[in-house]
Amino acid sequence: MMAAPSLDQVRRLLDVAPDAITVSRGMFVLMLEPVDLLDAVRLLKSELQFDLFLDVTAVDWLERSPRFDVVYHFYSTAHFARARLKVLVPAPDPVVDSLTTLYGSAHFMERECHEMHGIGFRGNDDLRPLLLYEGFKGHPLRKDYPKQYEQPLVPYRER
């Protein structure tokens, strides 16, 4: 087993500002610009063996600008190390680059993130709803989706 990468190593490799990378509970946390995302992930995968793509999700900060955090998690099966990447994207048309060219598992995870948060993934051409049903309007995990708003498929009985 190779030694786990150090904070300095990651910082030098990705060439990010010193305050853009921290360690939280043994996990690298990187704040990235949307344009740098694909290159950074490519380097993490090829140079530091972050070979397992765990998750992509989004955080909706309704009042903030830019409104969304898109959050990625990676795991290195060689170093037993984890990395978290955060990308800030603005509201009206939140789009980031797709990771499908690097990780096949990104196909489904990006579909879920797209239907739940309305994040677009440039390069993923199959963003059909995964868990939601056909005809569902809106993105239910956005903070401006009404909490109890239902879109029933079957008409409710009259009682």
Partner 1 sequence: MGSSTIPIRAVTDRSPAFEYFSTKKDELVGWARKFSLFPYPFVTACCAMEFMAVSSSPYDTDRFGAALPRFSPRQSDLLMVVGTLTHKQAPILLKVYEQMCEPKWVMAFGACATSGGFYQNYAAVAGIDKIIPVDVYVPGCPPRPETVIDAIMQLQDRIARSHHPILTDRF
Binding site for partner 1 (CB under 8 A): 131-133, 140, 145, 147-154, 156-157, 159
Supply the minimum distance, in Å, between the C-beta of residue 131 and partner 1.
Answer: 8
Output 25 or 147, the one with its CB closest to partner 1.
147
**Helix H or strand E encompassing 14:** helix 7-14
Of 80 and 108, CB closest to partner 1: 108
Q: By C-beta, is 105 or 145 nearer to partner 1? A: 145
Q: Which two tokens stand for residue 1?
A: 């087993």
Angle, helices 37-48 vs 7-14, to 10°: value is 130
Nearer to partner 1, 16 or 132 (CB): 132
Q: Are 102 and 119 in contact (CB under 8 A)?
A: no
> Three-class SS of residue 113?
helix
The nearest distance, CB 145 to partner 1, in angstroms, is 7
What's the closest the beta carbon of residue 154 comes to partner 1, in angstroms?
4
CA angle at 78 for the pair 77 and 82, rounded to the nearest 5°? 55
